[in-house]
Every structure is written in C-alpha cells, then in structure tokens.
Structure 1
Amino acid sequence: MKIKAVTVNRFRSYSSPVTVQVDDLLVLVGRNDIGKSTILEALDIFFNEGKGCVKIDKDDINKDCLAQGQDCIEIQVEFTDLPENIVIDTTNQTTLQEEYLLTSEGTLHVIKRYPNAGKEKVFIKANHPANPECTDLLLKKNADLKKILEAGGFDCPDKTKNAELRKAIWGGQANLQLGDCEIEVAKIDAKSIWEQLKSYMPLYTLFQSDRKNSDSDDEVQDPMRIAVREILGDPKIQKDLAQVTKTVKTRLDEVAQRTLKKLGEMAPAIANSLDPQLPDFASLKWLDVFKNVSITGDDDIPINKRGSGVRRLVLISFFRAEAERRKNEANLPDIVYAIEEPETSQHPEHQRALTDALIALSEARNTQVLLTTHSPEIVKRLKFENIILISNQIPTRVSPVLEHGLPYPSLNEVNFSAFGEASYEYHNELYGFIEAEGRLDDYKRSKPLRQYNRLRRDGSTVTEQVILTEYIRHQIHHPENDRNVLFTTAELTESIETMRLYLQA
C-alpha cells in the first residue's frame, strides 16, 4: 500500500481538517512552528499506535477546538496500490472491492479518532451497502450471516466462510443502495478485520530532528530497528519463527504433563490437567528480542558517543545503502521514511549527497520518502511537484510550490511568494541567475536610473548612474560604502518583483 493523502483535524495547530496529498517524494516547507512536523508525527501516531516516536496526549488537542468542547483528534489516511487479495476471516481470501471497503475512487480510506486524546476508534470510509437488509455484514458472525442467508433464500456454496456468505447476501439484493458511510472496524465484532488490514499497511518510521542525548539515541539506533522490523517481516523468517513457537509449545506441554503426573501422585483432586498458556504466534513481541541492537565504531566506541554530524552521516549512509538495495531487490515490504530536517549538522556537500540519496530512495519500489526542511541546498535539488508549502493562511494552509521566477525550486522564492519576505539572499539569487543567463544588459534596458557613489580603493568616490536593482546589489555586496542613502524594504521588494516579472515574461 502507498499513502495517497493524509488529513488531520483538531490536532495541535490544525483546528479544521487539512489534507496533504502524498507522492513517492514529499517535502514540506514553511516557517518554524507552522505545522510541518505535525503532519509527520500524526502519521507516526496513526501507523505505530504509540509504539513509535510519538505518543498522543491531551496537550495534542487543538486549544481552540477544546474551548468549544471539541476534544476528538482525527487522523485520516487514504491508500492506493492496494493488495489484490486480503484475508479478513481466518484463512478465507477475499478482496477489498468484494467487501465494499473501497471509496468510489477505488482507494482505501481509514479514519482514526481519538476522543479526548485517548484510545483510538478506527473507521473505514467506503462506498458501502446502506440497504437495511444487508448493511453491517462485516460486523456479523458466521451464525448471524447464515440466518440472514436463510431468511433471504439466497444460495451459498460454502457456508463455512464468512466472505462467501456476505457475497451471496449482497449478490441477492435488487438494490444495495451504495453510498458513502463509515464502518467501525476496531470494535470487538470487527476487530479481526482491522488486525488483518494492518498487516498490509506500510512500515512507517520517523527520524526526528530533536534528539535526546542518551546511550540509546534513536537517531542511530532507528536504522537498525527498521532493518530488524523488515527482516522479521520476511515470510521465510516468519515461518521459521512459527516453527520455533510450535517447538517451545510442544516442550512446555511435555513439562506440564510430567508435572501433572507427579501432582496426581500427591494430590489427585487438585487438577485434572495443566495447560501452558503461550501467547499465539501473532502476538509474540519478537521485535523486543532485538530492541538493544546497536552500532559501534572503532575500538567499540558507540556511534551515539560521536558528534552529531557523524551520527547523521551514519544515517545518510543508511539511506544511500537502502536506496541501492531497494532498487535491486524484489518483493520488499512497503515502507515510508519520514525525516525531519535531514540537513541538521551537515555541511552543504553532505546535504547534497543526502538529498540525492533520498531522491533515489523514493524512486525505489514500494518506497515513499517524506521530509521537512529549511535547507536551500535540499530544496533547489528537488522538482516543484515534490514540494508542499505549509502556512497559517486560511483556508489555504497547504499549497503546492509553483514556478515563479527561477526555473528551479528556491526556498527564498517560496518565502517571498508565501510570506512576502523580501530577503537579500533572494535578490542576489535572482540577479545572479539573470547575469548567468547573459541577459543582464537586456534586463537593464529602458529602466529608470539613479545616482550611485562608487567607492574607489584610494577612498575617493566616482558618481555612476545605475538602475534600482544594481543600486541595491552594490549596497548588499559593499556594506563598507556608506556614501549612499540605504535602500528601503519597499525598494528591495520592488526590485525583486521587477526581476520576477522579467523572468516570467
């Protein structure tokens, strides 16, 4: 499965539903504390259910909503690339389409609600039968389905399989009255449906930018833990572990029988049997066996004891290796890598290498990469369609980044377009691009001139006539020259706008 879209509501800064469309590579940009990381952390809560980086609590409820008595956080994820077949009743194969669990667009739309930031309730929003004669079939047990089948006089070749019973009942209706509805799939009667569906969902792993300085620093440990999760998910290893579980159960039964025999000799009335209760295979926490996996460097020095830059280099190397592996191997599980500010503690050269690795990783099969960033180096190596701007502007809190003046994505341009931030850096970037394209003379033609006092090396000045853009550029690059009136913010904005219009013409 792949994430198509995520929607958050009443969660932290999001007081109303906000939807972000997700592709193989998604990069979120915007000011600090605007809600970029909130999207990634909402997905961590959704997929890892409090066992990942983030645990939901009451402080996550949007304060404005809470003041209005609305305390239910909502996280929705819509999926594409769905499995052809699924198992939701023991071993009976069926399809999401046959079970009417898809939207009218053919996607799987899962909604999780957290009343008062507490235990989740899970719903599937689908184009589902609303006919009272055949609604809620997914919530019914085998005996109930048989009663409905018999009452309707429908024929079913195999009444032992719930999926076959549902198919026969739905197929016998003149009008299913299909329509959008929500099916609660995490309550007792339908819990097996949700447990089975979860097994088809992608692994989701979040690398946060704010690290805790402990001996088990997740920044370095997480790559190994991801590897453990993926390795343990291998069907062959699952089969081996199931055999281990069976062998342990057999040995425990033998111990119990020997104990029972001796107990019968001493007090036969106490017990007729001893049955060791081993958790079923699916609920055994195999990941915990490897929870202390770690990486050490030379002389067995833990990597987390090295500098933050070195730790991030290990992370970069992990992504590069994964990109290469996932391009060359088949039948790999779906995985989503979410990384907050990957540029942290890295020189521009390493930022470029990291960006290339993450782009390559996003192009691998069954892989999606989600980022937040403040790095111009990262942004300029991306395509416009990879970037989403998060702002506090209502109602367009989420908007695509479009080409305006420069032919490549620019963080300076994003900040100017979205927030009206006229920066020296953006002015330099625009001027430099026009100059590099050999179009500076054409740009300057017919524009009004003003006096600029150039400072010579001997301390004397010479008067020149220049356009506003040159006047500003000279002052930015020669702050030691105090012989001119400093340009204003309004003039800086005017010059930037003039260059943008020229490039767009």
Structure 2
Amino acid sequence: MRPAGQAELKFDECDIDVAKLETKQIWERLRSYLPLYTLFRSDRENTESDSEVQDPMRLAVRQIMEDPEIQRDLDGIAGRVRDRLSEVADGTLEKLNEMNPELAKSLSPRIPPTEELKWADVFKNVSVTGDEEIPLNKRGSGVKRLVLLNFFRAEADRRQREAGGQYVVYAIEEPETSQHPDHQRLLTNALAKVAESEGSQVILTTHSPEIVKQLRFDDLLLISGQEQRCVNPVKEKDLPYPSLNEVNYVAFGEASAEYHNELYGHIEECGRLTEYNRDKPTITYRRERRGAVVEEQKTLTEYIRHQIHHPENTHNDRYSSEALEESIGTMREFIRTQVGAGAEI
C-alpha cells in the first residue's frame, strides 16, 4: 500500500543509453535470454567473403563461444595475458624509473572483463571450402544453398543433443531457389524436423508449390494484397477438406492435374456429375475400342480427366494450360454455387 500523504507513482517509457557501463551490463544479461536470429537470403554476392556464406559460420562461432567450458578456458587465457602484461608493465616502469622516477609511480594494464572481450572476432575471417580446397563460392548456386541450409540442420541437431541451449530462430527466404524439385521436397521435410526440435523455430517464405505440398495447413500463412499486406491462416475454400493443391491454386495460380482430379472427384462423390456436364459444349475424344478408333463427345472437364488418367491414348491433342485453368474454374464455380463451399480463406 502507498503510505498516507505520498504522491501516486507515475510511470513513463524512456530510452536508456546502453553504451554506459551500468546499463550495458544489464543489457548483456537480458540479451542472454533473447533468441539467436539469423536470416538466410535467396540472393547472394558470390564472393568468398559473401556474408551469406560467412553468417552461418559466425553464428556457429558465437554459439561455440558461449559454451561454459570454453568460457572457462578463455578466462584462463585472459588471466595469463593479464599476468604477462603486468610483467611487461613492471619491467617498463623499472626502466622508466632509472631515467626519471618522477614520470610515473605505477603502470597497471587494464583488460576488460572476459565476457566483454570480442573473442568471436578472432574467427571473423572464417571461410568455407569443399573437396580439393575449392571455395564454396566457386560451386553452383544450388550446391551453395544446400551446403548452407544443411548447416542449419546440423546446428539444430547439435542443439537438440545439448540441454540448455539458447533459442534459435532461422528465417529462410525462398529455400527452393536453384533447387531440383526432389531437393525441394527433401529440404522441406528436413526444415520441418528442425522446427519440431526443442528451442528452434523456422520461418520461411516460398513461391514453390512443391514446398507447400510438403507442409501441414497449420504451418501455412497466406500473404495477400499489393499495397497493404495481409497475413491470414490458410483454410480450405471450395473443397470440404484441406487440400494443399487448392492452396497452391489460390496462392500461386497453380492449375495442376492433381487439383483438377480433386475437384472432379468431389463432384462425382456428391453424385452431381450428370448435372455438372449438362448443357455444356463438348469436344471430340478419340480412343481405341476392339482394335478400332472410335469418337466420343466429352465436355472439356471430361476430356481433360480422360487424358490425365489415360496418357497412353495418343489419338487426341493434349489439353492446354488455358484449358486446364478453364476447367478448374468451371468446377470451382459449380461447387461454390451448386454443391456448397467449404470455409473461406
């Protein structure tokens, strides 16, 4: 309780100069509770001192230097240096007094506390080489990104083995850059495991449908809007179940055969195919029957559906990407207005 007659306390925010000794010590303590953060960009400078190459190694140096055992070793080194400097100072003072005792009575070396010494700067020029001492920046873009991204994986494994490590946030921009689709899938699964490990978080941006297909709905946020960016959780829209093919269509305009199949299968499961195809224009579809080529009339959606499921039939012109987009759009509209849509994005 506030004593009688005492004015009520008022609080205001104010900036504190962390360069001053007292506040700097407070900040150093607070910083130990903050997560380490590293940004992995999609663009690069392509030099041997490329910050994108250096930063993961520098992050490793920072984390290694925080090891308590290494800190004790550094304390010992600092103490030995301090002792040697004292010997140098004492010898200098002795010689100085021989010339003029009035110049100085003492010389005392001042070394900052061990925790304030920039030990990591000793390794600031760390470099990365591969087989036959070939610098990393001389390799292809895809190889460079795989090497550096797998540094994150290795670091996450190490942190998982060691208890009490500092929290780490990895921000990765477009990990699909310069990667084969197989590598995109493997990389996405690997990063998902990193995110599941204790004390690690992975934030990535992507334009890759392959990466989206490897993730869960809970992992996805859709950024939309040109002038004012909107970030929303992704939910199913027209299909009544979560479909990453649909997310790719909404987010990237990815009109895929897989999404076409899902839409067609949903209409079929609802028993509405006959209604959907009614009164729509048809296309001639040719196929072999009993050794002869016969012609049948199919709607655009059925024409594409047959080509997807019977690629061995070469008697028809392949559907175009525009035709696939049109068919998907038609089915989405039918589901939305006639069958019933799912939740909105």
Which range, TM-score by smaller chain? 0.7 to 0.9
Residues 408-463 of structure 1 show CA distances to partners (whole Å, capped at 9, x for unaligned) of: 563763563x6xx7x4x4363322224577946835131223232325489x9945
1:279-320 alpha-carbon deviations (Å, 9 max, x no partner): 332332111111222332222222221111111221343233
* Structure 2 runs not aligned, ≥5 long: none
The SS at the match of 2:280 is strand
Between stretches 345-354 and 292-301, larger displacement belongs to 292-301
State how 1:371-410 maps to structure 2 within 5 Å: 371-392=204-225, 397-405=230-238, 407-408=241-242, 410=244
Show CA shifts across 1:339-375 (max 9, x none).
1111111111111111111111111111111111111
Q: Which residue of 2 aligns with 1:453?
A: 283
User: Which of 311, 326, 332 in structure 2 is aligned with 1:496?
Assistant: 332
CA contact (8 A) 1:320 1:358 kept: yes
Q: CA deviation at 1:274?
A: 2.0
Per-residue CA deviation, residues 144-186 of structure 1 (Å, 9 max, x unaligned), is xxxxxxxxxxxxxxxxxxxxxxxxxxx7668997998534344
Does structure 1 residue 433 correspond to structure 2 residue 262? yes
Distance in 2 separating the partners of 1:364 and 1:177:
48
Using the TM superposition, give the Cα deviation of residue 214 of structure 1 relative to its aligned residue in structure 2, in angstroms.
0.3
Q: Which of the numbers 247, 252, 276 marks the counterpart of 1:413? A: 247
Which residue does the alignment assign to 2:144? 311
Secondary structure in 2 aligned to 1:330? coil
TM superposition score normalised by structure 2 = 0.78
* Greater percentage in helix: 2
Pairing partner for 1:270 from 85, 91, 103: 103
Change (3 A) 1:428 1:465: same
Task: Tell me how far 1:495 sits from its aligned partner.
Answer: 3.1
Structure with the largest fraction of strand: 1
Q: How many residues align?
A: 326
Superposed CA offset, 1:222-276 (max 9, x none): 3322221111111221222122112211211111111011001112222222232
Q: Against the structure 1 CA distance between its residues 185 and 328, is the aligned structure 2 distance closer, same or farther, given a 3 Å change threshold?
A: same
SS across alignment from 2:283: strand
1:396 Cα deviation after fit = 6.5
In structure 2, give the amino acid aligned to 1:496.
R
Instruction: Give the conservation status (yes or no) of the 8 Å contact 1:253–1:276.
Output: yes
Q: Deviation per CA, 1:367-412: give whole Å up to 9, x if none.
A: 1111111111111221222222223367662222222245456376
The alignment status of 1:194 with 2:8, answered yes or no, reads no
Give the deviation of 1:219 after TM superposition.
Answer: 3.9
CA distance in 2, matches of 1:176, 1:224: 55
1:465 deviation in Å? 4.3
Q: Of the candidates 108, 113, 138, which is equivalent to residue 280 of structure 1?
A: 113
**Does structure 1 retain, via aligned residues, the 8 Å contact 2:42–2:174?**
yes
Q: Deviation per CA, 1:48-106, whole angstroms, max 9, x where unpaired?
A: xxxxxxxxxxxxxxxxxxxxxxxxxxxxxxxxxxxxxxxxxxxxxxxxxxxxxxxxxxx
CA-CA distance at 1:491 after TM superposition: 7.2
Q: Which residue of 1 aligns with 2:195?
A: 362
- Sort the Cα spacing of 1:503 and 1:368 in 2 relative to 1 into closer, same or farther, 3 A: farther
Bigger-Rg structure (1/2): 2
Partner of 2:61: 228
Identity, in percent, stands at 47
Letter of the 2:13 counterpart = E
Equivalent residue of 1:371, what SS?
A: strand
Aligned runs of 1:29-178 on 2, under 5 Å? none
Q: CA 1:176 to 1:496, structure 2 compared with 1: closer, same or farther past 3 Å?
A: farther
SS at match of 2:225: coil
Instruction: Indicate if the aligned counterparts of 1:389 and 1:398 stay in contact, CA closer than 8 A.
Output: yes
**CA distance in 2 between partners of 1:409 and 1:245 (Å):** 59
Mapped contact 1:384–1:401 kept (Cα < 8 A): yes
| 1:249 aligned residue (77, 82, 90) | 82
Q: Distance in 1 between matches of 2:150 and 2:185?
A: 13
Q: TM-score, normalised by structure 1?
A: 0.55
Between stretches 368-377 and 389-398, larger displacement belongs to 389-398
Of the structure 1 ranges 404-413 and 289-298, higher mean CA displacement relative to structure 2 is found in: 404-413
Does 2:268 match 1:442?
no
Counterpart for residue 13 of structure 2 = 182
Measure the CA separation in 1 of the matches of 2:90 and 2:146. 55
Secondary structure, aligned partner of 1:353: helix
* Equivalent position SS for 1:403: coil
Helix, strand or coil at the partner of 1:442: coil
How far apart, CA to CA, are the structure 2 residues paired with 1:495 and 1:297? 52
| Deviation at residue 490 of structure 1 after TM alignment | 7.6
Pick closer, same or farther for the CA change 1:405–1:294 going to 2, 3 Å: farther
Q: Which sections of structure 1, spanning at least 5 residues, go unmatched?
A: 1-170
Q: Which amino acid aligns with 2:329?
A: T
- Give the secondary structure class of the aligned counterpart of 1:390: strand
CA distance in 2, matches of 1:195, 1:349: 44
Contact 1:219 1:311 in 2 (8 A): no
Counterpart residue number, 1:261? 94
Determine helix, strand or coil for the equivalent of 1:446.
helix
Aligned partners of 1:350 and 1:309: how far apart in 2? 9
Determine if contact 1:383/1:408 at 8 Å carries over to the other structure.
no
1:278 Cα deviation (Å)? 2.6
Alpha carbons of structure 1 residues 180 and 274: separation in structure 2 relative to 1, 3 Å: closer
